[in-house]
Amino acid sequence: MAADTQGEPLPSLLDLITKVDNLPLDFATNSSPYYKFLLAPDLRPHGFIHPTTVERLPWPSAFRIDHAAAAVTLAVPTAALANAALQAAVDAAIACGRFPTLNGLHSEPFCVPGVVAAAYPDPGPIRIERFAATLFGINTRGAHLTAYVRDPTTRAIAAVWVARRSRSLYTYPGMLDSAVAGGVKADDSPLDCMLAESDEEARLSPAVVAPRLRPAGVVTLANRNPRTALIHGEILYVYDLDLSPPPGSEAGALGLVPLPGDDGEVEEFILMEWQDVVRRMKAGEFKPNVCAIMIDFFIRHGLVTPEVENQYVEICNRLRRKLPMPTNALET
């Protein structure tokens, strides 16, 4: 095993995934002491709530707390009432000041994935504010774009564009990140998110990105925060964007270049050889969940193979694990 300059062993690729995917695979059937979050009449848990949250949150009357069954149930007849009840719960959580994860702030609305729309007579997603999703242990949706450049002669992938997060951001300031990434808002599709974030974060317009963007699947992760013990599932839609110069370009041509946008979230973009990306992931320079995105990219493009990675099968399985909360209405 490789070691850093202090002699400490460097993490393996599987270790990097485990850092953000540490929830046991049998958690859905062995979730004690967490309370299941139910949207009646659906019996599938859409989240898992820590008992301390159950105790501290001033629950609105629409929620039924069953301590014997370890369940928090929201049973209302319409989606509008469900959204109103969830918003009231989030408002109460912010107002009481007992939940540092909220930072005392409201945040953009995300949808609760996997809701059975037919259970409600009115259309529309069930929403919850982004910062509050971990209080309820709900899956969230995100989208990540990996931008890359090919070798002009071999056409093999030579380098990856990496963003450095602004040092003024509340979360992971100054760390390395996907070229473009963002949370998928409640009323948006993953593609909507990618086109908007590419424009805002990297000054790559939809007219430039849309014809080149390639959907490449999904990475699923489930994490229990070691400090707060809150549960969080992630559904991360992944996209590839080839920014290579056209074939036949002069040597040294860069092709399209991402530039920090006006939203202030990106400090700089760095064109980095893929081996250097691996080294810097292991050195702890990347935002943790981005490591899973990069590893997935390297596997899909044949840069990490079973011939060089002895944990290849386990890595592939973990990148697409079954989440304990549903991702669609038909999932059992």
- pLDDT for 96 equals 95
Q: What is the pLDDT of residues 114-150, one digit of tens each?
A: 999 888 999 889 999 999 999 999 999 999 999 999 9
Q: Rounded to an integer, what distance in angstroms lies between the CA atom of residue 163 and that of residue 268?
A: 6
> What's CA 291's distance to the chain center, in Å?
11
Q: Going by C-beta distance under 8 Å and a sequence separation of 6 or more, which residues neighbour residue 22?
A: 222, 223, 224, 226
Measured CA distances, 83 to 67, 68, 111, 239, 265 (Å): 24, 26, 10, 31, 30
Q: Rounded to an integer, what distance in angstroms lies between the CA atom of residue 287 and that of residue 284?
A: 8
Kind and range of the H or E element at 200?
A: helix 190-202
Residues with pLDDT less than 50, the chain: 1
Model-level pTM? 0.94
- pLDDT for 4 equals 59
- pLDDT for 250 equals 64
Contact 213, 205 (CB under 8 A): no
Q: What is the pLDDT of residues 258-296, one digit of tens each?
A: 999 999 999 999 999 999 999 999 999 999 999 999 999
- pLDDT for 202 equals 97
Percent helix, percent strand, percent coil in the chain, to nearest 5: 30, 25, 45
**Residue burial 218-232, b: 16+ Cβ < 10 Å; e: rest:** bbbbbbbeeebebbb
Domains in the chain (CATH in brackets) are 13-18+141-319 (3.90.79.10), 31-137 (3.30.750)
Q: Which two tokens stand for residue 302?
A: 């044949």
Contact 241, 146 (CB under 8 A): yes
Would you put residue 212 in left (φ > 0), alpha (ψ -120 to 50) or beta? alpha
- pLDDT for 8 equals 78
Question: For the chain, where are the E strands, in sequence order?
Answer: 35-39, 47-49, 63-66, 71-74, 109-111, 127-129, 139-150, 157-165, 176-177, 180-183, 213-224, 231-242, 266-273
